[in-house]
């Protein structure tokens, strides 16, 4: 039987960690993810978990700890944000290329500079091509639910990839919301025991982890990672279905909201979906045919499914909480446009960069975006395909 509580997003992730009881945690604090290892440390001190809790001198070392533990056959977890994720950069590639299913709770925060501790997606989006599965949450409930699904996805023998479970710093990580929690025994049964096929401490079959990738073998290793990411799509859907059967909360690659007959739609990630949903409802009450697509899974990117969901729209705005400095838009904008390119009838597409460094995203901002899409539909022209919204001046 599910139980109800009031938890912040950070508390919810730490609670999920307690229920899973991982073997090793590499811990180093950084705002706004600090509370996750802090709450979990209390579980360790109270004897509620059996985890080897390793306090280290940097985020680089926390990921090194996780890599060593996972290579030895252990279930390893960590949490970080912003510059902490950037300090792990080298090791993000290492974990993925070694096919080690480490689980990382990323509480999204802007990267310096200038120094800023508030939310945007520049940290995890910068890591989008490191080989990690990436799953994003809109609210505290989703942060908890996504974390419980991460290990069965990453540890699947056909996948064996690390998973980054992302939520918006402060907006969800520190805000307290009502949340429905699973029973401990349900979680244990759902997540299961980690059963690595090969690992360093398997004495009957000694092996090395991380050999030098000479030219005749390096590309094959990368192709193996790429194929595993493709395979992860089906696994993500299966785990989402199983989770729904247990909880009544079903998950896929994205959530469509009032999209079926929409002429104009916004595509976005994370907590801004609540604002966009309110805007859609307001405009629907005025007779406007508008909708929203909230992307949950960014890696692997659901190209075909997303294109099918949006292809009937006449105009789409893709909203990025990350500036990629490409002079052509943000990372989500590039990927969604690429997905739509193969559609026989494809919508006009406009990319907006918004919300950087914690800048508010208001219903009025979303309404302005829908008005711009109306103009695109009226004229048949996108105008500037890449824009910023919410900034002064």
Please tell me whether residues 28 and 141 are part of one structural domain.
yes
Please tell me whether residues 53 and 37 are part of one structural domain.
yes
What are the tens digits of pLDDT across the range 194-250?
Answer: 999 888 888 888 888 888 999 999 999 999 999 999 999 999 999 999 999 999 999
Which has the closest alpha carbon to 133: 234, 32, 17, 41? Answer: 234
Give the model's pLDDT for residue 179. 98
Buried b (16+ CB within 10 A) or exposed e, 132-141: bbbbbbbbbb
Please tell me whether residues 359 and 272 are part of one structural domain.
yes
Other C-beta atoms closer than 10 Å to the C-beta of 249 total 14
What residue numbers bound the domain in which 219 lies? 3-247
In a domain, 308, yes or no: yes
Please tell me whether residues 45 and 192 are part of one structural domain.
yes
Give the model's pLDDT for residue 26. 98
CATH number (domain holding residue 192): 3.40.50.970
Please tell me whether residues 177 and 71 are part of one structural domain.
yes
Strand pairing of 290-295 and 254-257?
antiparallel
* Averaged pLDDT for residues 338-363: 96
Task: Look at the block and give the residue holding tokens 């469509």.
Answer: 256
In a domain, 51, yes or no: yes
> For residues 180 and 247, what is the distance between their CA atoms, to the nearest angstrom?
9
Give the model's pLDDT for residue 284. 98
Last residue of a domain, one of 185, 219, 247: 247
> For residues 281 and 285, what is the distance between their CA atoms, to the nearest angstrom?
6
Please tell me whether residues 308 and 266 are part of one structural domain.
yes
Q: What domain count does the chain have?
A: 2
Last residue of a domain, one of 231, 247, 263: 247
Which has the closest alpha carbon to 321: 211, 144, 166, 155? Answer: 166
> For residues 367 and 374, what is the distance between their CA atoms, to the nearest angstrom?
11
* Averaged pLDDT for residues 4-20: 98
> For residues 341 and 235, what is the distance between their CA atoms, to the nearest angstrom?
26
CATH number (domain holding residue 330): 3.40.50.920
What are the tens digits of pLDDT across the range 118-155?
Answer: 999 999 999 999 999 999 999 999 999 999 999 999 99
In a domain, 58, yes or no: yes
341-347 contacts at long range (C-beta below 8 A, 24 or more positions apart): 342/307, 343/307, 343/311, 344/311, 345/311, 345/312, 346/307, 346/311, 347/265, 347/310, 347/311, 347/313, 347/314, 347/315, 347/316
Last residue of a domain, one of 198, 225, 247: 247
Average pLDDT, the chain: 97
Give the model's pLDDT for residue 1. 63
Per the DSSP assignment, residues forming a β-bridge with 166 are: 106, 136
Please tell me whether residues 16 and 135 are part of one structural domain.
yes
In a domain, 124, yes or no: yes
Please tell me whether residues 146 and 96 are part of one structural domain.
yes
Give the model's pLDDT for residue 2. 80
> For residues 108 and 61, what is the distance between their CA atoms, to the nearest angstrom?
20
pTM for the whole structure? 0.97
Give the model's pLDDT for residue 206. 80
Please tell me whether residues 276 and 213 are part of one structural domain.
no
Please tell me whether residues 49 and 191 are part of one structural domain.
yes
In a domain, 150, yes or no: yes
Give the model's pLDDT for residue 214. 94
Give the model's pLDDT for residue 320. 98
Strand pairing of 348-353 and 315-320?
parallel
Please tell me whether residues 43 and 95 are part of one structural domain.
yes
- Residue 361: phi and psi, rounded to 5, are -115, 115
Please tell me whether residues 259 and 203 are part of one structural domain.
no
In a domain, 393, yes or no: no
Other C-beta atoms closer than 10 Å to the C-beta of 303 total 16
Give the model's pLDDT for residue 209. 84
């Amino acid at each position: 039987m599910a139980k109800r509580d009031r938890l912040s997003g950070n508390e919810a992730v730490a609670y999920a960690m307690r229920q899973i009881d991982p073997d090793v945690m590499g811990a180093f604090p950084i705002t706004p993810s600090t509370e996750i290892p802090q709450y979990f440390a209390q579980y360790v001190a109270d004897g509620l978990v059996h985890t080897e809790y390793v306090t280290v001198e940097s985020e680089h070392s926390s990921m090194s700890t996780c890599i060593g533990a996972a290579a030895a056959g252990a279930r390893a977890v960590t949490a970080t944000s912003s510059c902490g994720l950037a300090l792990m950069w080298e090791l993000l590639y290492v974990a993925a290329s070694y096919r080690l299913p480490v689980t990382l709770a990323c509480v999204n925060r802007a990267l310096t500079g200038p120094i800023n501790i508030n939310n945007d997606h520049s940290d995890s989006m910068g890591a989008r091509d490191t080989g990690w599965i990436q799953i994003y949450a809109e609210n505290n409930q989703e942060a908890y639910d996504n974390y419980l699904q991460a290990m069965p996805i990453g540890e699947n023998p056909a996948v064996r990839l690390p998973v980054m479970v992302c939520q918006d710093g402060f907006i969800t990580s520190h805000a307290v919301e009502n949340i429905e929690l699973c029973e401990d025994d349900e979680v244990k049964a759902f997540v299961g025991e980690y059963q690595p096929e090969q690992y360093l401490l398997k004495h009957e079959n000694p092996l090395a982890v991380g050999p030098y990738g000479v030219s005749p073998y390096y590309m094959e290793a990368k192709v193996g990672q790429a194929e595993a990411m493709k395979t992860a799509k089906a696994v993500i859907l299966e785990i989402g279905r199983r989770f729904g059967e247990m909880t009544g909360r079903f998950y896929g690659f994205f959530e469509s909201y009032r999209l079926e007959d929409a002429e104009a739609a916004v595509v976005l990630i994370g907590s801004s979906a609540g604002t966009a949903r309110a805007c859609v409802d307001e405009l629907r009450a005025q007779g406007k045919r508008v909708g929203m697509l909230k992307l949950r899974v960014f890696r692997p990117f659901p190209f075909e499914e997303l294109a099918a969901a949006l292809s009937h729209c006449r105009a789409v705005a893709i909203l990025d909480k990350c500036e990629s400095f490409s002079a052509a838009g943000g990372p989500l904008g590039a990927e969604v446009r690429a997905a739509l390119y193969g559609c026989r009838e494809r919508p006009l597409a406009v990319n907006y960069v918004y919300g950087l460094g914690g800048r508010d995203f208001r219903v009025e901002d979303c309404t302005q975006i829908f008005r711009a899409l109306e103009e695109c539909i009226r004229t048949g022209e996108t105008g500037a395909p890449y824009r910023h919204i919410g900034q002064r001046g």
